[in-house]
Structure 1
Amino acid sequence: MMTTTIAEDPGDLASPRAEPGSSTRIVTELADLAELASPEVSACVLRRRIDADVEGFVRERLLPRPLSEALLVDPAAPDLAALAAGAPPSSGRDAFLHDVRGLISLFADLTGCPRVGVRLARLTTPMCPRLHADMVTVRLVTTYVGPGTEWVEHASVRRDRLGHRANGVPDERSGVLRAGARLRRMAPFDVGLLKGEAWPGNRDRGAVHRSPPGTAPRVVLTLDALA
């Protein structure tokens, strides 16, 4: 079995000025998300502080119940009421919806897309347990509660063993991870922008990622750029 490490401590993550050849940028300023446009970059992760009002609302109102909402919205005027359906008005509810609106606006500004696909889900099992790259242009992912998405550097994987190509063998034994590979995990509230295989000129360079293992409950938001 290949030994890997998982980094989620902010001090153990790369700086925006990553080492040469890195496919990841970790940033703390919104403006630095423009790094995603660089051809060598596959994943850009914005670190941000947890908002206590948002976290409290998600833990108290969303985490205890089944949740799976998918919306198609106009980023200029997104109707997000369904994401908090049944929750009474509160400062936490308002803060949560404000945060999602802000992420939609940010995503639309970065991508120029006229529509955004929004998915909010409560998960207790890994939705995508194997390392893979998505067949999309770019996807935004943030975890409000629970362990975040895991990803790995482009140079640290063998793409011929991603996803179904591993024939059901776990990532740690399939050989998909090269020697010394370091799996990295987003912290709650981190915002990950993951280029997919459909990003122009990005074939065979889509961000390689997976759901974290285990059954700890998670509340996860994903955004997709749609035409």
Structure 2
Amino acid sequence: MMTARTAEAPEDLASSRAAPGSSTRLVTERADLAELAAPEVSVCVLRRGIDPDVEAFVRERLLPRPLAETLLVDPGAPDLAPLATGAPHSPGREAFLHDVRGLISLFADLTGCPRVGVRLARLDRPMCPRLHADMVTVRLVTTYVGPGTEWAEHAAVRRDRLGHRANGVPDEDSGVLRAGARLRRMAPFDVGLLKGEAWPGNQGRGAVHRSPPGTSPRVVVTLDALA
């Protein structure tokens, strides 16, 4: 039985985009996230640098305390104050809220959704430890602190062994990854768009992903498109 390789650091952008038959697009411009609409694409990742003000705020004000905030917002005028409850006004606080507001605007522009579900969480263990595909249209995920979400190419997995179908056997032993395949991992501040099984015409091709293994604390924001 094959063993899944450990997820590696993000690969070279040029070589990743040139890979024939890839279900992933790695981009550096926000406008290029529109490539998610291509039928063969299930994951689109915007590479972006770490904002030191945002990172400092998240580490100093959000990481030390429990976080489990869920909001339903109008993307045109989102009230995000609950995401920073208890944190005094500061350049870092405003930079963090500005960044999340920008992600919501970007997500709404790409999806056309009238409402966005926002979730901010501190995670001390993998929330979704096994490779799986979500029954959603599309989800945005950004990790501000800690290791990012892991994913696999569409052609790299056996879907009959995803999630509960592995009968409790860990991914590393279930054979869910085909021989020679490896997981990939988003870097902090990357913006990942994960196309789900409910995306029109995408049944059987939903983005296969999981939380990174280990107990390193993470601060993660996810966005869902809602009607």
Structure 2: give runs of 5+ residues left out of the alignment. none
Kindly indicate whether residue 177 of structure 2 is the aligned counterpart of residue 189 of structure 1: no
- 1:110-143 Cα shifts (integer Å, max 9, x gaps): 0000000000000000000000000000000000
The alignment partner of 2:222 has SS state of: strand
Q: Please state how far the C-alpha of 1:18 moved relative to its aligned partner.
A: 3.1
Counterparts in 2 of 1:32 and 1:216: CA distance versus 1, 3 Å: same
Q: Return the TM-score normalized by structure 1.
A: 0.97
Instruction: Give distance in 1, aligned partners of 2:14 and 2:123.
Output: 28
- 1:181-214 Cα shifts (integer Å, max 9, x gaps): 1100000000000000000000000000000000
Kindly indicate whether residue 18 of structure 2 is the aligned counterpart of residue 18 of structure 1: yes
Q: Which residue of 1 aligns with 2:91?
A: 91
The alignment partner of 1:89 has SS state of: coil
Q: Which residue of 2 aligns with 1:31?
A: 31
Q: Which residue of 2 aligns with 1:56?
A: 56
Q: Which residue of 1 aligns with 2:154?
A: 154
Q: Is contact 2:4-2:182 (8 Å) kept? A: no
Q: Which residue of 2 aligns with 1:67?
A: 67
- 1:73-107 Cα shifts (integer Å, max 9, x gaps): 00000000000000000000000000000000000
Q: Which residue of 1 aligns with 2:80?
A: 80
Question: Percent identity over the alignment?
Answer: 85
Kindly indicate whether residue 180 of structure 2 is the aligned counterpart of residue 180 of structure 1: yes
Q: Is contact 2:117-2:224 (8 Å) kept? A: yes
| Matching residue's letter, 1:63 | L
Q: Which residue of 2 aligns with 1:41?
A: 41
| Matching residue's letter, 1:9 | P
| Matching residue's letter, 2:7 | I
| Matching residue's letter, 1:190 | D
Which contiguous aligned blocks of 4+ residues in structure 1 show a shift greater than 2 angstroms? 13-18
Instruction: Give distance in 2, aligned partners of 1:44 and 1:3.
Output: 22
Q: Is contact 1:18-1:24 (8 Å) kept? A: no
Q: Is contact 2:132-2:210 (8 Å) kept? A: yes
RMSD: 1.1
Q: Which residue of 2 aligns with 1:206?
A: 206
| Matching residue's letter, 1:39 | P
Q: Is contact 1:59-1:145 (8 Å) kept? A: yes
Counterparts in 2 of 1:135 and 1:121: CA distance versus 1, 3 Å: same
| Matching residue's letter, 2:218 | R
Q: Is contact 1:137-1:199 (8 Å) kept? A: yes
- 1:159-200 Cα shifts (integer Å, max 9, x gaps): 000001111110010111100111000000000000000000
Kindly indicate whether residue 141 of structure 2 is the aligned counterpart of residue 130 of structure 1: no
Counterparts in 2 of 1:117 and 1:100: CA distance versus 1, 3 Å: same
Q: Give the total of aligned pairs.
A: 226
Q: Please state how far the C-alpha of 1:5 moved relative to its aligned partner.
A: 4.0
| Matching residue's letter, 1:176 | V
| Matching residue's letter, 1:70 | T
Q: Please state how far the C-alpha of 1:14 moved relative to its aligned partner.
A: 5.8
Instruction: Give distance in 1, aligned partners of 2:77 and 2:188.
Output: 26
Instruction: Give distance in 2, aligned partners of 1:186 and 1:144.
Output: 11
Q: Is contact 2:151-2:183 (8 Å) kept? A: yes
Please list, as runs of the form range in 1=range in 2, the aligned pairs for 1:157-172 lying within 5 A after superposition: 157-172=157-172
| Matching residue's letter, 2:224 | D
Q: Is contact 1:15-1:27 (8 Å) kept? A: no
Q: Which residue of 2 aligns with 1:114?
A: 114
Q: Return the TM-score normalized by structure 2.
A: 0.97
Structure 1: give runs of 5+ residues left out of the alignment. none
